[in-house]
Structure 1
Amino acid sequence: MEITRSRPSLFSEIAHGLGFWTDRSAVHEAAAQGQVRQLQQLIQGGASVNIVVMDSITPLHEACIQGHSQCVRLLLDAGAHVDARNIDGSTPLCDACAAGSLECVKLLLEHGAMVNPPRFTFSPLHEACMGGNSECVKLMISEGASMEAHDCHYGTPLHVACARQHKDCAKVLLNAGANVNAAKLHETALHHAAKLENVDLIELLVEFGANVFARDNLGKTPLQYTTPGSPSALSLGFYEGTPLSLQQLSRLALRMVLGRRALQVAAQLDLPNRIISYLCYMPPPTADICDS
C-alpha cells in the first residue's frame, strides 16, 4: 500500500509546478547561453523555471554550470528551487563552486542554498576543491561548510584538493583547520601527494602535521608509493628519519587545540608578529626584523 500511495504523490508534486520531464527546453537553453533578455521574456510568458530534463538538470543548474550570474538571479527571483538535485545529486551550488563563480555562489547562498548536504555525498566544498577554485573554498568555509564532509568515493575535500594537485585549495583547508590525517580506507592526503610525486604538496602536508608513517588499507606508507631516489622519495625519507622540532610540535599542538579558530585566535595573542605569522603559516613581516 505504501508503494501505491507514493506514485500519485510524486505526480501530484510534478503537476503543481515542481517541474516535469521533458526534452531540453528553451529555458534551459537561455540559461546555459547566458541569454538574459530571452530568459526574462520566457519567464514573463509563464515558462516554468523548474522544468527538468531526463537527468534532472534544471535551468538553474545550467546557469550555474556556466557561471551566468544574471540568469541565476532571474531564475531565483522567479522561484527556482535553490537546492534542486540532478541525477548525480549535485545542487546548483555544487555547480557554481565547480565553475568557480563567486557571484553565483553568493546569490545561491543569499537564497538559502544548503551548504552541507547529507553525509557521504559530494559537497559544494568538494566541487570547489575539484575545480581548484580557492576563493570559492574560502567562501564556503566562511559559510560553515564542513571540511570533514566525507564522500564515499573521494574522501574529504582535502583528499580531493591533493588528488587534483590544487595546492592553494589544500592550504586554505589546512589553514582553516581541516584534519590533515583524515583517512579514506586508511588513505590520507599524503598518500595522494606521494603517488603523484608532488614534493610541494608533500612538504605542505607534513608542515601541517601529516603522519608520514600512516598506512593505507594495503599497509603502505606514503614513501612506499614514491619512486626510489626521486625528490618526493628523498623528501619523505628525510621526514621519516628526522623528528619534528620542538618549535614545530608546539605550533601543531596549539593549532590542534584551536581548530578552526586558529587563525582568528592567534592574531589576538599578545605575541610578537613573527611568532603570530609562524603560528598562522604566514610569511614573516618584512619590517621590524627584531620585532618583539
Structure 2
Amino acid sequence: MEITRTRPSLLSNIAHGLGFWSERSAVHEAAAQGRAEELERLIENGATVNIVAVDSITPLHEACIQGQTQCARLLLQAGARVDARNIDGSTPLCDACAAGSLECVRLLLEYGATVNPPLFTFSPLHEACMGGNSECVRLMVAEGAFMEAHDCHFGTPLHVACARQHIDCVKVLLNAGANVNAAKLHETALHHAAKANSLELIELLVEFGGNVFARDNLGKKPSHYTSHGSSAALCLQLYESEPLSLQQLSRVALRNALGKRALEVVPHLGLPNRMVCYLTYMPAPTLGLLTC
C-alpha cells in the first residue's frame, strides 16, 4: 500500500516508535552541518534524536555521511539507534564507511554497530570499497566483516572494489583472504578488471589466483571484455597461452589452503625471509624484522 504524504507522521510513529516523519528537522540540519552546540541544545530541550525524514534518514545517518563525529557522539549518547536503516537499507555504519570517516566508524563500533547486515544486502564493507576507503576496509575486515558478503546487485566487496578500480581496497581484501574467484552471475572480479582495461588490476588478481578462463553467464571470459590490442587484452592473452610458473602455482595453493589465516601463519613456518615475503605478497617493512 502506498503511503501518502497527508498522514505520514501518524503512520511512522505507530509503525516505528521513532518520532514523526519530516522533510528535514532542525536535528538533521545541525547533525549534518556539525553544529554540535546547537545539536546539544536541541537534545536538552527534548528534541527526538530518532526522528526520521521521509526517506527514513535519521540525524545519525546525516552526521555519519558528513563525518561529523562530535555530533554522532551526542546523538548516540542521547539514545540514537546505532543500526537504524534508511529507505535503501543503509545504516549509519554504512554511511561512515562510504564517507571514509574512520573516527565515525570507530565510534559506531564502540556503540555496538552491526558489522554484518542480513544476507544479500549492501554491507558497510561494500560501502567502504565503493568509496575507495582502504583504511575503512582494513578496519571492517579486522572487525570480522564477511568478505564474501553477497549483495544481489553488486556481488562481493571485491567485485565492487574492482568495478570502481580502487586498487588499494582490492589489495587489502586479497591479502586478507578474500576469494578472488567469487562469482556474481558467474562474473568474477577479473571480468570487472577486464571491462575497465586495468592492467594493474588484472595482474594483481592473477597473482592471487584469478581464473583467466572463468566464463560469465554470457559465456564470456575476461579477455572478451578488453579493448582489442590494449595492454590489458595482450596481458590476458599471454596468461591464457602460458601456464603460471610452479612457484606461482605453489603460492596460490598454499594461500588457498591457509585462507584468511595466511598472513598470521606463514611468518611462523620457519621459512627463509625471502620466501615468507613472497608467500604473503608483502614488502619487507610490513613484516617487521623480516628482510627480503
- Name the counterpart of 1:55: 55
2:12–2:21: 8 Å Cα contact kept in structure 1?
no
In terms of mean alpha carbon deviation, does 225-234 or 138-147 score higher?
225-234
1:278–1:284: 8 Å Cα contact kept in structure 2?
no
- Matches of 2:14 and 2:120 in 1, distance apart? 30
Alignment RMSD (CA, Å):
1.6
Give ranges in structure 1 of 5+ residues lacking alignment: 1-7, 286-290
Residues 241-264 of structure 1: CA deviation (Å, up to 9, x unaligned): 111111111111111111111101
- Name the counterpart of 1:202: 202
- Matches of 1:194 and 1:11 in 2, distance apart? 49
1:22–1:53: 8 Å Cα contact kept in structure 2?
yes
- Matches of 2:160 and 2:78 in 1, distance apart? 35
- Name the counterpart of 1:73: 73
Q: Does 1:88 align with 2:97?
A: no
- Name the counterpart of 2:105: 105
1:69–1:103: 8 Å Cα contact kept in structure 2?
yes
- Matches of 1:212 and 1:257 in 2, distance apart? 20
Alignment of 1:1-292 (within 5 A): 11-12=13-14, 14=16, 16=17, 18-284=18-284
- Residue 19 of structure 1 and its aligned partner are, at CA, apart by 2.7
Residues 3-28 of structure 1: CA deviation (Å, up to 9, x unaligned): xxxxx9974464x5x23212210000
SS in 2 for 1:31: helix
1:43–1:78: 8 Å Cα contact kept in structure 2?
yes
From the superposition, tell whether residues 9 and 152 of structure 1 become closer, same or farther in structure 2 (CA, over 3 Å): same
Aligned residue pairs, count: 278
TM-score of the two chains, using structure 2 as the length reference = 0.92
Residues 57-78 of structure 1: CA deviation (Å, up to 9, x unaligned): 0000000000011011111111
- Residue 39 of structure 1 and its aligned partner are, at CA, apart by 0.6
- Matches of 1:156 and 1:30 in 2, distance apart? 35
Residues 100-127 of structure 1: CA deviation (Å, up to 9, x unaligned): 0000000000100000000000000000
SS in 2 for 1:53: coil
- Matches of 2:275 and 2:236 in 1, distance apart? 27
- Matches of 2:235 and 2:284 in 1, distance apart? 24
- Matches of 1:35 and 1:178 in 2, distance apart? 40
- 1:47 is aligned with what amino acid? A
- Matches of 1:219 and 1:186 in 2, distance apart? 9
- Name the counterpart of 2:7: none
- Matches of 1:181 and 1:27 in 2, distance apart? 45
2:13–2:20: 8 Å Cα contact kept in structure 1?
no
- 1:73 is aligned with what amino acid? R
- 1:35 is aligned with what amino acid? R
Give ranges in structure 2 of 5+ residues lacking alignment: 1-9, 286-290
- 2:237 is aligned with what amino acid? G
- Matches of 1:268 and 1:58 in 2, distance apart? 47
- 1:244 is aligned with what amino acid? L
Residues 209-268 of structure 1: CA deviation (Å, up to 9, x unaligned): 000000001101011111221100110011111111111111111111111111011122
- Matches of 2:110 and 2:13 in 1, distance apart? 30
- Matches of 1:92 and 1:163 in 2, distance apart? 24
1:133–1:169: 8 Å Cα contact kept in structure 2?
yes
Residues 67-91 of structure 1: CA deviation (Å, up to 9, x unaligned): 0110111111110000000000000
- Matches of 1:192 and 1:53 in 2, distance apart? 36
- Matches of 1:55 and 1:264 in 2, distance apart? 43
2:83–2:113: 8 Å Cα contact kept in structure 1?
yes
- 2:141 is aligned with what amino acid? I
